[in-house]
């Protein structure tokens, strides 16, 4: 959504069946993987064991996960799209869905679970576009204007191209009933949210305020959207934002969570925490939002990202995860029983970010 940035260390994989990587690593018992304070999770399981793995999303039947991974051991130098059963994969690596060319982001199952939606830069170049993390001392995310949105079958064959306009089109996710897609585009000159039908038709702009709007998801009943947004206000902040955008970059260090109806009405800011609040997702009840935040990090110290929950009206903030480095990209299964997320926990002191899935306790 959804970017694999913000000190993230994203993507790579392994699973519950022995692979070459797992043969060297004994999987710990499930609930030794969660911290004592993490009372909303139980029976936590680790699904990948190395590299950078992130943005895992459930299939409609809840039996599969799509995700993006960077893993030199798989000869994957930048994010590509994979899928696997929720129990993990067998063999050397899971099935790759993307072309292996360019850089990809944000994969989401289409209705019927026989195809996957994702964004890719492969039409622009076979190689990975350079993705600087800093520019003039600022931490940045790239928003490549070569991204377009595609649909591929589970063998990786592209069966549809949904966007074909100049500029950035990415961060696409699907409504629970499988009829609408929400995505981020700069076709207006700014990074805004749009919706479209699953065939790419009926495009409608949802947001229209200066700043980055992205990483949007539908509520369980399909009536609302939640997303992350920056809102530069001062002349200096506006100038910096516009300058970075002209260079296909954004600075994600000051973002808050917003909600609105799917048509953009009743838009309101949920968090007012400062720093970076992002990767939001509705809880199964639809009454709360789980998101990643570093607002609680000590000033001057190493940024720490944990998952938090909050009511739609901005009350009831509660910490959900307690890893000392990074937790993000929470998503719930369609039946609301399980939550998958990415974490740096138990990575042996490396920079590996792995996928974890556990039962959700409301």
CATH number of the structural domain spanning residue 192: 2.120.10.30
Residue 207 φ/ψ, nearest 5 degrees: -110, 155
The yes-or-no verdict on residue 262 having pLDDT over 60 is yes
Q: What's the distance, Cα to Cα, between the start and end of the chain in Å?
A: 24
User: Is residue 171 over pLDDT 50?
Assistant: yes
Residue percentage of the chain with pLDDT more than 90: 86
What is the model's pLDDT at position 133?
Answer: 87
- pLDDT, residue 24, reads 43
Q: Of 106, 111, 97, nearest to 198 (Cα)?
A: 111
Per-residue pLDDT, averaged over 347-353, amounts to: 93
The secondary structure of 274-303, three-state, reads: CCEEEEEEECCCCCEEEEEECCCCCCCCCC
For the segment 191-213, what is each residue's pLDDT rounded down to a tens digit? 999 999 999 999 999 999 999 99
Confidence (pLDDT) at 299: 79
**Angle, CA 34 vertex, CA 32 and CA 39 arms, to 5°:** 125
pLDDT attached to residue 160: 98
Tally of structural domains, the chain: 1
Q: What's the pLDDT at 297?
A: 93
149 lies in some domain: yes
Examine residue 13 and state whether it is found in any structural domain, yes or no.
no
What percentage of residues in the chain have a pLDDT greater than 70?
Answer: 91
Asked whether residue 6 is domain-assigned, the answer is: no
Range of the domain at 244: 22-360
User: Is the model's pLDDT at 300 over the cut of 70?
Assistant: no
Residue 266 lies in a domain: yes
Give the mean model confidence (pLDDT) for residues 136-161: 96
Nearest to 191 by CA among 241, 126, 127, 151: 241
pLDDT of residue 138: 86
> In the prediction, which pLDDT does 9 show?
36
Average pLDDT over residues 110-124: 98
Residue 20's alpha-carbon distances to 14, 59, 221, 305, 345, in angstroms, are 9, 26, 41, 30, 21
> Does residue 64 sit within a domain?
yes
What number of other Cβ atoms are within 10 A of residue 156's Cβ? 17
Residue 121 lies inside a defined structural domain of this protein = yes
Q: Please report whether residue 7 resides in a domain.
A: no
Distance CA 116, CA 151 (A): 5
Question: Residue 219 corresponds to which tokens in the numbers above?
Answer: 């509520």
pLDDT at position 302 is: 74
């Amino acid at each position: 959504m959804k970017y694999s940035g913000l000190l993230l260390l994203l993507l790579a994989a392994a699973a519950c069946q022995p692979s070459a990587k797992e043969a060297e690593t004994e999987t710990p018992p499930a609930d030794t993987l969660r911290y004592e304070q993490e009372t909303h999770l139980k029976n936590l399981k680790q699904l990948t064991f190395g590299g950078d793995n992130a943005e895992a999303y459930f299939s409609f039947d809840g039996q599969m996960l799509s995700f993006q991974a960077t893993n030199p051991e798989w000869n994957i130098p930048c994010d590509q799209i994979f899928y696997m059963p929720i129990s993990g994969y067998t063999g050397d690596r899971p099935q790759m869905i993307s072309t292996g060319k360019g850089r990809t982001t944000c994969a989401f199952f289409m209705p019927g679970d026989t195809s996957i939606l994702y964004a890719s830069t492969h039409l622009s170049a076979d190689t990975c576009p350079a993705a600087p993390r800093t520019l003039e001392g600022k931490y940045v995310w790239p928003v490549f204007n070569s991204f377009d949105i595609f649909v591929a079958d589970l063998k990786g064959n592209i069966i549809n191209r949904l966007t074909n306009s100049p500029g950035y089109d990415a961060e696409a996710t699907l409504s629970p009933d499988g009829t609408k897609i929400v995505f981020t585009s700069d076709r207006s000159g700014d990074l805004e949210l749009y919706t479209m039908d699953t065939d790419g038709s009926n495009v409608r702009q949802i947001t229209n305020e200066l700043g980055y709007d992205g990483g949007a998801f539908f509520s369980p009943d399909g009536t609302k959207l939640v997303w992350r947004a920056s809102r530069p206000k001062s002349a200096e902040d506006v100038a910096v934002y516009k300058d970075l955008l002209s260079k296909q970059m954004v600075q994600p260090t000051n973002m808050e969570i917003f909600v609105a109806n799917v048509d953009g009405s009743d838009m309101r800011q949920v968090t007012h925490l400062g720093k970076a609040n992002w990767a939001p997702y509705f809880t199964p009840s639809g009454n709360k939002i789980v998101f990643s935040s570093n607002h609680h990090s000590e000033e001057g110290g190493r940024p720490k990202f944990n998952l938090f929950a909050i009511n739609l009206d901005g009350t009831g903030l509660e910490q959900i995860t307690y890893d000392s480095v990074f937790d993000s990209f929470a998503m719930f299964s369609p039946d609301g029983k399980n939550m998958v997320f990415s974490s740096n926990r138990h990575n042996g002191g490396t920079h590996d970010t792995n996928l974890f899935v556990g039962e959700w306790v409301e």
